[in-house]
Structure 1
Amino acid sequence: MAGKTAGLEDLSVAFVTEPVAAADWLIAAPVVFCLMAGAALLMLRKRTDLQPLIALPALVVLNGLTLGLLAHVLLNGTVTMTMGRWLPPFGISFTVDPLSGFFAATSALVALAAGIYGRSDVDHSGRRYGFYPFLLLIMAGVLGAFLTGDIFNLYVWFEVLLISSFGLLVLGSERGQLDGGVKYAFLNLIATTLFLVATGYLYGLFGTLNMADIAIKASDLRGTAPLMTLVALFLLAFAMKAAAFPVNFWLPASYHTPRLVVSALFAGLLTKVGVYALLRILGMLFPMQRDELALIIAIAAALTMVLGVMGALAQNDIRRALGFLVISGIGVMMAGLALGSPAGFSGAIFYAAHSMIVMTALYFAVGIGARLGGSFELTSAGGLYARNAMLAMLTLMLFLSVSGLPPFSGFWPKVVLVKASLDVGAWWLAGAILVTGLLTTITVGRIWALAYWRPSPEEGRLEATQEIANARISVPGALPRGAVAALAGLVILTVAVGIWPEPVLVLSQDAALGLLDPSDYVLSVFPAQEVSQ
C-alpha cells in the first residue's frame, strides 16, 4: 500500500527539488575548502617542508572563493543555500548578505597574510605540531560563523574555531603559553556555555533556530515571552567572546603568550566574530530589545574604549599593550551597536574590517621589530629607526591608523561614529571615542619614542637575548622577506582605504541597512509566497 502512494507525494513541500545554481555553490565553498585543505595538511603533518607549499596556495584559492562570493552577493543580493535538500527552517541554511560576505573576504585576506608571515615565525616544531592545519581549520570556523543562517550552527562554528585556537595558542608548549592557554580556555568555555544555554532557551521560545524564521516571529512574541532575558544572555556571552568590559580580562592575559603570528591572527579575527554575532543577533533579530539595552551597551562601550587604552598606556611589554588596544577597539564597535542607527551600524562594520587588517599588521610589525632590536620590553628596546627606517615608517603608519588619524583607514569609521553619536544627542559617547583616539595616539607615540626613535640602550641586552630565546624568535637582525611583504601589504591596504574610502563606506552602509531591514535576508531563505502564509 505504501508503494502505491509513494510516487504521488509532493516532495516540493518539504524538499528542494531544483538543482543548485553553479554560482550558489560559492556559498558553502569557502568552509568546505578550508576543511578539506586542513585535513590534507593534517595527513601530511610529518612533511613540514610541504606544509607552507600547500597551505599558501590554498589560502590564495580561499581568497578567490570569498571575493567571488562577495561579488555574487553584491550583484544578486542576499543568497541562501540549504543543506540536505530540506527546506528551511528544517534544513540548515547558509545565508550570505553584504555583512557576512564582507567579513568573510576580509578574514580570508588576514589568514593569507598570517600564512605568509608564519613561514618565518613558525619553526619545524611548530609545523610538525600543526600550525598550518590549525590555521585552515580555524578559518573554517570563522567563515562558518560568518556565513551560517542558523544560530545552533553559529554555536557549532564557534566551537570549531575555539578548538583550533587552543591548538594554536599552545603551539610550542612553553610555560607562558600553557598559562595563557588555561586562562583563554576557561573564560571562553564559560562564554560558550552561556551561548549554548541561550540557544536552548531560544529554541524553547521560538521552536526554530533559523535566523530568518526568528526574524519573522520575534515581533509576534514581544510581550508574551521573556525575550529580554534571552537577549541579555546572548549579550553577555558574545561580549565575553568579543572581550568587552567587564568581561575582557582574559584577553591581555593570554594574547601576548603565543607566537606572534598566532597573536596577530587572534587579534585580527577572533574578537570580531563575537562582534559579528552581536550585530547579527541584537541588530537584526532583536532590534526592540537592543533599543531597550542601548544605554547599557553604550556605557559598556565607553568603558571598554577608555579602560582598554589606559591599560595599553600602562604596559611595558609591547605585546600586552597591543592586547589592550584590541580591547579598546571592541569598545568603538560596540558604540555603533549601541547607537542602533544606520550610521552607527555602518561605522561599527567599517571599524571592524579596519581592525582586522590593522591589528594583525601591528602584531606583525612588533614581531619583526623584536627580531631587529632584540626585545619586546620598552625598557630594553630602542634604536629601531636607525636599524631599519622602512620598518619604522611602516609601523608609524599603523600607529597613526590605529589612532584614527588621516589619511588612514581608522579615520573614517570614527568620523561616522562620532557624527552618529552627535546626531542622537549622545555627546558623551562621541567624547569617549575622541578621548580614546587621543589616548591611543599618546600610547603609540610612547612606543614609537622609546622603541624606535630612542637610541638603543646598552643595558638589558642579556635579558633581551634570553627573552628572544624564550619567545622562539629568530636571530635578531634577520628580517625575512615574506614577513616584511605580509606587513607591507596590509599597510598598503590601510593607506589605500584611508585615501579612497568610498567603496568600503558604501559596502558598510549596505551591510548596515541589511541588518536594520532584514526583508532581503528573510526572502532569500523563504520565498515571498511562504512568508505571506
Structure 2
Amino acid sequence: MANLLPLPVLLPLLGAALTLVARRRPRTQVAISLLVLAASLGVAIALMWGTHDQGPIVLWLGAWTEPLGIALVADRLSALMLLISSFVILVVLVFAIGQGVADGDEDSPLSIYFPTYLVLSAGVSNAFLAGDLFNLFVSFEMLLFASFVLLTLGGSGSRIRAGTTYVIVSMVSSFLFLVAIAGIYAAAGTVNMAQLSLRLPDIDPTVSLALQLMLLTVFGIKAAVFPMSAWLPDSYPSAPVPVSAVFAGLLTKVGVYAIVRTQFLLFPESPLHTLLMIAGLLTMLVGILGAVAQPGIKRMLSFTLVSHIGYMLFGIGVASGLGLSAAIFYIAHHIIVQTALFLISGLIERVGGSTVINRLGGLAATSPVLAILFFVPAMNLAGIPPFSGFVGKVGLVQAGVADGGAVAWTLVVGSVVTSLLTLYAVAKTWSFAFWRPRAEEGADQTFEIPTLTPSFGRLSDAIGAVVAHERPSTPISPPAPSRQVDRPMPPLMLGAASAVVVFSMGLSVFAGPLFTYTDAAARQMITRDAYVEAVLPQEVP
C-alpha cells in the first residue's frame, strides 16, 4: 500500500510531460489527461481505504537514512482531502473539455493548458501527502507556477493584472514560508513534521510562538483569511470558468489543510486558538458583506468563498474533537459545493450571455435543469436543511456551545448571521437570474458593460480558456436593453456540473458515515501518536 503514495504526484507529472510532447495532437492530450487523472482518483480511493483499515501509511523516498529523507504520509485527513480533490480535478477537466469542444476554433496556441493543469494536480496531491515543511513549500511553488499560467490564459490585460497580483501575493507568502522554515530548522534541527512534534515543545516558548505566527501568516494568505484575503475576489473571477472552479474549490483549502496539519501536529498547546477564532469571525462577516453587494455571480461566489473559510477557522480555533471534526467535514463539503457553483456560473453565462444578475432573467423558463442545478448547491452553501452545509454548521455550532467561552459564543452568533446573509445573497441571485421575467424590449433596466467572451482554439487548445471576464460594472446610458443569447448547454459541461451537484447531494445523504470518518480523523490529529509512530517508530518511546 505504501508504494501507492507517490502515484498521485508522479502520474500527473508524467502526464504533463507526455501532453507537452503531444502538444500538436489534441485528442492524445485529452486521452492522456483523462487517463492520468482517473488513475489518480483510483489511487486516492485505495489510500482512503488503506488509512481507514491500517492507520497512517508512510513511504520514505531517496534511500536516505531515516529521518533524513523525504517522507510521504497519508492519514485519514490527507486521504479524504486527496480523494475529494482528485474527483474535483477530474470532473472539472471534463467540463473544460466540453467547453473546448463547444467553443473551439482553429487559431489558438493554448496547448499548454493540459500539462499545466496536470502540474497543478500534482502540486495539490503533494501538499496533502507532504510529511515535511520543505516538501510542503515545494507543493505551494508548483501550485504558484501552474496557477499563474492558468490565470493568464488568453493574455487579456485584465487577466494579466489579476495574475500579477496573485503572483506577487504568493511570492511574498513563499518568502515568509522560507524564512519560517529556516527559523524552524535553526531552532529544532529538522523540518520533518513528525520530528518537529517531538522537538518543538522543548524550545523556548517565545521562539515557538514566533514560528507559529509566521506559519499562520503564510497559510492565512494561501487560505484567504481576513485581512489577507483582498487578492482573491479580483483574481478568481477573471480566470476561465474551469480554472476559477478548481481554484475556488481547492487552492484555498490547501492553505486551510496546512493550518490544520501544523496547528494540531506541531503546536497542540497553542495559545493562539482565540486569535484563530477572531480571525474566523472577521473572515465570515467581511466576506459575506462583500458578497451581498456584488452584481456579478462569480464575484459574489468569490466573496462567499472568503466568508466560508471563516467556518473552517471556527472549528480549528475551538480546538476540540467535535470542532475539528466539523471543520474537516465542512472543508470536504465546501470543496464540492463551491466547485459546483462556479461550474454552474459558466453554464449560466452560456445560456444567459452574462453573469451580471441585472442582465439576466427568465432562466428558469429557458432552462429548468439549470435552475435546479444552481438551486441545490446554493441552498447547500447557505446551510438549509437537510443539506450537508446544514449538518456541518450544526456541528460547528455544537462545538462552539460546548466550548462555552465568550469568543466561541460570539462565533456561534456570527456563523448564524453569516448563514442568513449567504442565503440572502444566493436567493437574490436565483431570483434575479432565474425567477423574474426577462426584461422586455425597450424596458428600463440597469445596463452593465457587457462581459467579453474570448474563444480559444481547438479541442486541446481551448480547454479552460473560453470564459467571460467578469468585473465590477459601470452604469452607462444604454442604446438598447441587453439580451440573453439562449445557447444550449453542451452535454459534457452539463454532465460534469451535474456530477458535482450529485456528489454534493451524496455528502448530504451519507453525512452520518462521513461525520463518523471525520470524528476518527479528528481524534487521530489531536492524539498525534499514530502519525508520529508511523513516521518515526524508532523515536517513539
Shared topology, TM-score over 0.5? yes
Conserved? CA contact 2:358–2:446, under 8 Å: no
Secondary structure of the residue aligned to 2:88 is: helix
Contact 2:358 2:447 (C-alpha < 8 Å) held by counterparts: no
Structure 2, unmatched stretches of 5+, are 456-464, 469-484
Tell me which residue corresponds to 2:33.
Answer: 55
Quick one: which amino acid aligns to residue 365 of structure 2? A
1:516 maps to what in 2? Answer: 526
Out of 404, 428, 433, which is 2:383 matched to?
404
What is aligned with 1:381?
360
Residues 466, 285 of structure 1: alpha-carbon distance in 2 compared, 3 angstrom cutoff: closer
Verify: 1:158 aligned to 2:137, yes or no: no
Contact conserved, 2:356 with 2:448, CA < 8 A, in 1? Answer: no
Aligned to 2:26, what secondary structure does the other structure show?
Answer: coil
d(CA) in 1 for partners of 2:350, 2:356: 13
Q: Does 1:531 align with 2:540?
A: yes
1:305 and 1:507 map into 2 onto residues whose CA distance is 26
Instruction: Say if 2:160 is the partner of 1:175.
Output: no
Q: Secondary structure at the match of 1:82?
A: strand
CA–CA separation in structure 1 for the residues paired with 2:451 and 2:261: 46
Contact 2:279 2:310 in 1 (8 A): yes
Would you say 1:350 and 2:332 are equivalent positions?
Answer: no
Distance change in 2, residues 1:97/1:519 (3 Å) = same
Matches for 1:387-426 after TM superposition, within 5 Å: 387-425=366-404, 426=408
Given that residues 375 and 468 in structure 1 are in contact (C-alpha distance below 8 angstroms), is that contact kept between their aligned partners in structure 2?
no
* RMSD of aligned residue pairs (Cα, Å): 1.8
Aligned twin of 1:227: 208
CA distance in structure 2 between the aligned counterparts of 1:452 and 1:498, rounded to whole angstroms: 25
2:21 aligned with 1:43: yes
Kindly tell me the number of residue pairs found equivalent between the two proteins.
506
Q: Which of 63, 80, 83 does residue 58 from structure 2 map onto?
A: 80
Identify unmatched segments of 5+ residues in structure 1: 1-22
Q: For 1:287, what is the secondary structure of its paired residue?
A: coil
Q: How far 1:476 moved relative to its partner?
A: 4.8
TM-score normalised by the chain length of structure 2: 0.90
Q: Is the 8 A contact 1:361 1:398 kept in 2?
A: yes
Paired AA for residue 531 in structure 1 = V
- 2:292 is aligned to 313
User: Cα distance, 1:27 vs. partner?
Assistant: 1.1
In the alignment, the residues of structure 1 paired with residue 500 and residue 526 of structure 2 have an alpha-carbon distance, to the nearest angstrom, of: 31
Cα deviations by residue, 1:209-263 (Å, 9 ceiling, x for unpaired):
111100111222254x610000000111110110000010000011110100000
Call closer, same or farther: CA 1:298–1:126 in 2, change over 3 Å.
Answer: farther
Task: Note the C-alpha offset of 1:503.
Answer: 2.1
CA distance in 2, matches of 1:501, 1:321: 27
Query: Does structure 1 residue 507 correspond to structure 2 residue 517?
Result: yes
Q: Partners in 1 of 2:426 and 2:379 — Cα distance? A: 8
Q: Is the Cα–Cα contact under 8 Å of residues 241 and 343 in structure 2 kept in the other structure?
A: yes
The Cα of 1:269 is off from its aligned counterpart by 0.6
Letter in 2 for 1:492: V
Q: Is the 8 A contact 2:295 2:357 kept in 1?
A: yes
| Superposed displacement of residue 501, structure 1 | 0.6
Q: Deviations over 1:324-344 (max 9, x none)?
A: 011011111011111010111
Question: Are the counterparts in 2 of residues 46 and 128 from structure 1 also a CA contact under 8 Å?
Answer: no
Alignment partners' CA distance in 1, 2:432 and 2:350: 16
Identify the residue that residue 198 of structure 1 maps to in structure 2. Answer: 180
Segment drifting more, 327-336 vs 402-411 = 402-411
**Match for 1:284 among 257, 265, 289?**
265
Q: Which residue of 1 aligns with 2:191?
A: 209
Q: Is 1:361 matched up with 2:346? A: no
Question: Does the residue aligned with 1:253 lie in a helix, a strand or coil?
Answer: helix
**1:441 — aligned with what?**
423
Counterpart amino acid of 1:396? F
Provide the C-alpha distance between the structure 2 equivalents of 1:466 and 1:353, rounded to a whole number of angstroms.
32
Match of 1:266 among 235, 247, 251: 247
Deviation for aligned residue 1:53:
2.4
Which residue does the alignment assign to 2:474? Answer: none
Counterpart residue number, 2:491: 481
Who is 1:189 aligned against? Answer: 171
Whole-Å separation in 2 of the counterparts to 1:392 and 1:299: 37
Q: What secondary structure is seen at the aligned counterpart in 1 of 2:427?
A: helix
CA distance in structure 2 between the partners assigned to 1:284 and 1:126 by the alignment: 47
- Cα gap change, 1:265 to 1:86, in 2 (>3 Å): same
* Identity across the alignment (%): 37
Aligned to 1:5: none
Deviation of the 1:531 alpha carbon? 2.2
Indicate conservation of the 8 Å contact 1:48/1:127, yes or no: no
Mapped to 2, the partners of 1:384 and 1:51 lie a distance apart of: 35
For 1:160-196, what per-residue CA distance to the aligned partner results, in whole angstroms no more than 9, with x for missing partners?
1111111110011111111110111111111111111
Q: Is the CA contact 2:81–2:332 (under 8 Å) kept in the aligned structure 1?
A: yes
Query: What is the Cα deviation at residue 469 of structure 1?
Result: 4.8
Match of 2:79 in 1: 101
Alignment counterpart, residue 467 of structure 1, candidates 436, 439, 452: 452
Deviation for aligned residue 1:461: 11
Cα displacement (A) at 1:462: 9.4
Task: Using the TM superposition, give the Cα deviation of residue 284 of structure 1 relative to its aligned residue in structure 2, in angstroms.
Answer: 1.5
User: 460-469 or 434-443: which moved more?
Assistant: 460-469
Deviation at 1:127, TM superposition (A): 7.3
Alignment partner, residue 149 of structure 1? 131
For normalisation by structure 1, the TM-score amounts to: 0.92
Shift of 1:48: 2.3
* Aligned-residue offset at 1:121: 2.9
Task: Quote the residue 1:92 is aligned against.
Answer: 70
How far apart are 1:478 and its partner, in Å?
2.5
Cα displacement (A) at 1:396: 0.2
Quick check: 2:99–2:490 contact (8 Å CA) kept in 1? no
Task: Say whether 1:30 aligns with 2:8.
Answer: yes
Equivalents in 1 of 2:323, 2:234: separation in Å?
Answer: 30
Pair 239,126 (structure 1): closer, same or farther in 2 beyond 3 Å:
farther
Residue 327 of structure 1 pairs with residue 306 of structure 2? yes
Give the structure 1 partner of residue 475 of structure 2: none
In structure 1, how many angstroms separate the alpha carbons of the residues matched to 2:467 and 2:224?
A: 28
Match of 1:429 among 411, 414, 427: 411
